[in-house]
Chains A and B, each alone.
Chain A
């Protein structure tokens, strides 16, 4: 009886552990060990300078209720805060959260905040914990990079 009980407990612990691990992996992919080294990534030089980041908060809304500034925490093993306006003109793509897939262009930045230009729409709908990547592209970017999805921006 005791052995049965111990065996049941051990099985339940294993199932719970596996569940927690999978939930953890799904909740914050940035910290899954080894994932950045998988596949072919390490043998190819980056074609773009990139800064992946996590939203730690949003700036105040303007009088119209629109938000254009987010506070960030750089992600990754070699992450460092950006220099002031280092990211100006770079493209910001949302990778996790309600605004997944949306694209903005950086107007200015400090070490811990990014302000996007207003003509691409506001950051409303983003929240603490959302993930994004900022990538250095042509300093004179097109109005939108979402050529496969231009109508989404009109609605936003």
Chain B
């Protein structure tokens, strides 16, 4: 139907348009953060990714995911698993920045139960930097840490172990 040379151009145009359409979801800076958490809770990998900028860097309990692909492959599944067994209640939030670069600082009271029966009851703090691309905000940087020393040190100990 389409001449051969035109087909790749149509595919490229479709992908570019899809990217633009994708960026319609978070009109406010906090929408990107809340939308991301909501997607984790409903185990929706694709929707979670839709709130992340392609330049994402994640700091999580002392570890670094230097690319969005690295985070998507290695830590996103764990965050979905964690969200499934815990409730994150927003306690406080501050927003700042201007123009296309904003920050969203959030404090959550996280409760739940681990598979070993141990209760989860901790405060998790989150720094999110969001960037407006087109008409919507996406998360460029996330940094999480917890008030529980044992949890934090345990997580850091795990990093020293060799890969299985």
Chain A residues proximal to chain B, CB less than 8 Å: 22, 25-26, 29-30, 32-48, 50, 52, 65, 75, 77-78, 91, 93, 95-96, 98-103, 124-125, 131, 133, 135, 137, 145-149, 151-152, 154-156
Contacts and interface: CB of A to CB of B under 8 A. Distances in A.
B126 to A, nearest CB: 14
Contacts of B50: 101, 146, 148-149, 152
- Most chain A CB within 10 A, of B35, B39, B46, B47, is at B46
A38 B45 contact: no
B7 interface: yes
B44 A37 contact: no
A38 B60 CA distance: 8
A38 B47 contact: no
Interface of B: 7, 11, 14-15, 17-19, 21-22, 24-25, 35, 39, 43-47, 49-51, 54, 60-61, 63, 65-70, 72-75, 77-78, 80-82, 84-85, 114-116, 151, 154-155, 158-159, 161-164
By CB atoms of chain A within 10 A, which of B7, B77, B155 has the most? Answer: B77
A34 B155 CA distance: 12
Given A33-B162, A43-B114, A151-B24, 20 more contacts: A34-B161, A38-B75, A38-B158, A39-B63, A41-B78, A42-B158, A44-B85, A45-B115, A48-B43, A77-B164, A95-B73, A103-B46, A133-B77, A146-B47, A147-B44, A149-B25, A149-B50, A152-B18, A152-B50, A154-B21
